[in-house]
C-alpha cells in the first residue's frame, strides 16, 4: 500500500479527548521521530520530496491542509486533512506536497526513521526515474 487514510480511535468523556499511537495497533511502524509543521504562510507548500526509507503518518491536530501524493508512474491524488482523528499513512517512495494550510494549522508527522538527508529525493524528475526503476 502506497498510502491510506484511516480513522484513529478517540478516547474521551466530558473532560476531553485523546488519541494514542501504538505500533501494530494503529501505526504500522515504531515511531523514531516526530515533528510538527505550523505557522505556514499562505500559498506556501511544504514537503515536495520523497523518501527512500521513511514511512510517514500525518495528522492535522489543528486546522487543515491538503496533501498531494504521487506514487509510481506519476499517478497523483489529493487528500484533505481536517480533523485530529484522521491519519494519512504514506509508504516509502511516495512524493508528498503539503499545501493550503489553514490559519493556525498544525500538522503532526510521525516517521519510522531518524532524520537522514541522504534518503531524500528532492527533485521530482529524479523521483520519477528512481521509482520507475523499482516498479
Q: Give pLDDT tens digits for 80-126.
A: 999 999 999 999 999 999 999 999 999 999 999 999 999 999 999 99
Q: Exactly one of 17, 49, 85, 134 is catalytic; which is it?
A: 49
Q: Let me know if 17 is a catalytic residue.
A: no
Q: Residue 134: what pLDDT? A: 60
pTM of the model: 0.92
Inter-residue contact 90 to 56 (CB < 8 Å): yes
What does each C-alpha distance from 90 to 35, 68, 78 come to in angstroms? 15, 11, 12
Closest CA to 96 of 130, 121, 64, 117: 121
CA 27 to chain centre: 13
Instruction: Sketch the domain layout of the chain as residue ranges.
Output: 3-11+24-134
Q: What percent of the chain has pLDDT over 90?
A: 80
Which CATH number is correct for 3-11+24-134, 3.40.50.720, 3.90.190.20, 2.60.120.10, 3.90.420.10?
A: 2.60.120.10
The Cα–Cα gap between 2 and 88 comes to 11
Amino acid at each position: 500500500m502506497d498510502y491510506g487514510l484511516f480513522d484513529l480511535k478517540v478516547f474521551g468523556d466530558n473532560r476531553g479527548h485523546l488519541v494514542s499511537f501504538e505500533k501494530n495497533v494503529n501505526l504500522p511502524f515504531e515511531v523514531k521521530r516526530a515533528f510538527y509543521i505550523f505557522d505556514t504562510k499562505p500559498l506556501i507548500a511544504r514537503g515536495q520530496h520523497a523518501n527512500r526509507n521513511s514511512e510517514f503518518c500525518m495528522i492535522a491536530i489543528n486546522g487543515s491542509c491538503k496533501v498531494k501524493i504521487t506514487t509510481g508512474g506519476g499517478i497523483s491524488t489529493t487528500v484533505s486533512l481536517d480533523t485530529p482523528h484522521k491519519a494519512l499513512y504514506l509508504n516509502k517512495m511516495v512524493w508528498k506536497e503539503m499545501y493550503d494550510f489553514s490559519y493556525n494549522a498544525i500538522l503532526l508527522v510521525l516517521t519510522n526513521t531518524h532524520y537522514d538527508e541522504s534518503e531524500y529525493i528532492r527533485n521530482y524528475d529524479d523521483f520519477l526515474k528512481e521509482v520507475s526503476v523499482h516498479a
